Amino acid sequence: METKTIHTLIIDDHPLIIEAYRSAMAEIQEKRHELVFVIEEATSCDSATFLIERSLASNKLDLVFLDIKLPPAVNGPHLSGEDLGLEIRQKAPKTKIVVATTFNDNYRIQSIFKNINPEGFLIKSDISSDTLVSALVEILVDPPYYSKTVLQSVRKYISHDFLLDKWDRFLLYELSRGTKMKELPTIMPFSLGALEKRKRHLRTIFDVTDGEDRALLTRARKLGFI
């Protein structure tokens, strides 16, 4: 029987989650001897970027487990795992991406769908060791696979056109760091007027009537955008 090597990258900063992925792949490999997983790990945006670039250079990136809530990169533009997913999707569209996150807010789920459209989408509280194995098999053989909370969100917001782009998230991130609006045109490719318009749009999306940035950031943080 011809073996199929699956070059896999786990991007997560929780050791127990990493071990759960490894155990699931080991169990699958025991049952399906034709599958061989070659696994690498990254625990930050910076280390993930290095491994992604190296893997893409050798055309060896078949499967990625992606945690969304990662610290921003120190030496690059990535603010979270979502940015890493966007890069992978753009540069290696055939790579299967499995998003696994603690975020269970409908807004956040829809944004990830719009931006990454992953082959697998798991809310960590939904999965167990048994469901992880069956989910991974389905992702490999006949994707997509979505966990219970994700499916509920899809059904509820199937016609919802909500989307924050990378600049919306970058604006929120900079404001959360204390950057003043008048300083933003020096680090973002927009005029102050355009940035003020984006901020008004964000207030509308998040249903924030208070004119203070604190209310907007509190809402964005609660929804998992910063």
| Domain coordinates in residue numbering, the chain | 4-157, 166-223
Residue 213 reports pLDDT greater than 80: yes
pLDDT of residue 106: 67
Q: What does the alpha-carbon distance between residue 95 and residue 25 come to, in Å, rounded to a whole number? A: 17
pLDDT of residue 53: 93
Which of 136-145, 189-198, 206-215 is predicted with the least confidence, judged by mean pLDDT? 206-215
Q: What does the alpha-carbon distance between residue 91 and residue 94 come to, in Å, rounded to a whole number? A: 9
Provide the pLDDT confidence category of residue 22 given band limits of 50, 70 and 90.
Answer: very high
Q: What does the alpha-carbon distance between residue 4 and residue 74 come to, in Å, rounded to a whole number? A: 36
Percent of the chain topping pLDDT 90:
54
* pLDDT top residue among 172 and 156: 172
Provide the pLDDT confidence category of residue 159 given band limits of 50, 70 and 90.
Answer: very low
Task: Domain 4-157: give its CATH code.
Answer: 3.40.50.2300
pLDDT of residue 161: 46
Phi-psi region at 224: left, alpha or beta (left = phi > 0; alpha = psi -120 to 50): left
Q: Each residue of 43-84: pLDDT tens digit? A: 999 999 999 999 999 999 999 999 988 888 887 788 889 999
Residue 163 reports pLDDT greater than 70: no
pLDDT of residue 164: 75
Q: What does the alpha-carbon distance between residue 86 and residue 189 come to, in Å, rounded to a whole number? A: 19
Provide the pLDDT confidence category of residue 158 given band limits of 50, 70 and 90.
Answer: very low
| For residues 184-205, average pLDDT | 92
Query: Which tokens is 130 given?
Result: 């048994």
